[in-house]
Amino acid sequence: MDAQTVRDVDVEGRRVFVRADLNVPIEDGRITDDSRIRASLPTIVYLLERGATVILASHLGRPKGKVNDALRLKPIADRLSQLLGRPVRMTGDALGPGVQVAVDKLRAGDLLLLENLRFHAAEEANDDEFARSLAGLADLYVNDAFGAAHRAHASTEGITHHLPAVAGLLMEREVDALSKLLRRPPRPFHALLGGAKISGKLEVVEALLSRCQAVLLGGGMANTFLAARGLELGKSLVEEDQAANVERIVAEARRKRVRLMLPNDAVVAPQIHRRARTQVVAVTAVPRDQMIVDIGPATRKAYAEHLGKAKTIFWNGPMGVFEVPQFAEGTNAMARTLARRSSHGVVTIVGGGDSVAAVERLGLAAKMTHVSTGGGASLEFLEGKTLPGVAALLPADTEISDPAEDA
């Protein structure tokens, strides 16, 4: 990584503001996937073991600048306590007199979790006064929130104007892993893309066409490509307004000699329901009263065989409505395929919340080369965009002074 990291700084005795991405799914007060919390542990533990005082901050959900009791970080503090084997104290707000009192009581090796940053509208507005106040709590800033690095918010970009800023271990790992896809990855390089809509992934598809030898499509986004071919897809999700964009992508793939693979069979159902009756049909024979909910067995086999030729695979997005167990076999099959390929030395990188959830649920995350914590951030990175949270970090050759020496 071309930026300073926590390993480049003497953190003993320092107050360190760590921006983590602890934005995890919570249902009825219970965390349903703690992978982002676990991914943040190496940086937290690294700092605590070296005598730093850690002030941990994150957002959760979209409270839109207002306090929302359902989006408080208490469940995250509880889970952190379990994982760290020590109590994790937290504040009732992200800023204010009470926060300053709590920070002043901290000693080396202590950890304090601030309340949801997005309870303040100033966070997403990247308000400089808010950023300056956050910076006033510490003397070093560590950004370990890759999943929020594509947002120029007060805690991801604004704060770096008031504190020396370095990358956490997770941030470093994310940037290094995804950079490999931009800098001559082992070929053939194949991309497996799914999810509901093509409209949100146009730029990443176009970027991948310049790097991949094959792009395999599934999920609702594949429906739009099939519909553009003139197929009748019953009640399936189709973005009809994207026909021109689809035609452009198909033409670009043909011009660059990139193989664009689409499903040839599908699992269909009359509705999205756990008890819905399903059947497998050719994509050319979807009944009018049915909708595509997953790729079919023939497509799963064809995709697995084609991915068997790859030496680098990037996967983003499920192959169907994988939240419903009986519509998840296509997504699960692709997760197992990537795990097998990874065991044979193939570079396998998984990005995107649903894809990550699938490999986590199957217990396959550890078998992948890299599982990204950043959905939108990983896509924008692969599009070649500059991520504000990454760009704001100090260059690798920068010297960071000890605050005691400056005093």
Provide the residue ranges of all domains of the chain, joining segments of one domain with +.
6-172+387-406, 187-345
Segments of the chain with pLDDT less than 50: 407
- In this structure, the number of other CB atoms found within 10 A of the CB of residue 289 comes to 10
Give me the active site residues, please. 36, 197, 353, 376
CB neighbour burial string for 123-141, b if at least 16 within 10 angstroms, e if fewer: bbebbeebbebbbebbbbb
Chain-centroid distance of CA 369 in Å reads 15
Residue identified by tokens 């970080």 is: 73
What pairing do the DSSP bridges indicate for beta strands 312-316 and 189-193?
A: parallel
| pLDDT value of position 407 | 46
Determine the pLDDT at residue 395.
Answer: 87
pTM (2 d.p.)? 0.91
Q: Distance between CA 401 and CA 378 in Å, rounded? A: 32
Residue 157, C-beta contacts closer than 8 angstroms, at least 6 positions apart: 126, 151, 388, 389, 392
pLDDT recorded at residue 235: 97
d(CA 191, CA 260): 10
Q: Which of 255, 284, 281, 261 is nearest to 270 (CA)?
A: 281
Sheet of strand 214-217: strand arrangement: 259-261, 214-217, 189-193, 312-316, 347-350, 370-371
In sequence order, which residues have a C-beta less than 8 Å from that of residue 152 and are 6 or more positions away?
126, 158, 388, 389
CATH class as words, domain 187-345 = alpha beta
Residue whose C-alpha is closest to residue 93's, from 75, 120, 133:
120
Measure Cα distances from 88 to 44, 52, 162, 187, 302 in Å: 12, 15, 27, 46, 49
Dihedral sign of CA atoms 199, 203, 205, 206 in order: positive
Instruction: Output the pLDDT for position 148.
Output: 96
How is residue 331 written in tokens?
Answer: 């997504």
- Residue 406 is predicted with a pLDDT of 52
Fold equal for 6-172+387-406 and 187-345: yes
Domain 6-172+387-406 has CATH 3.40.50.1260: yes
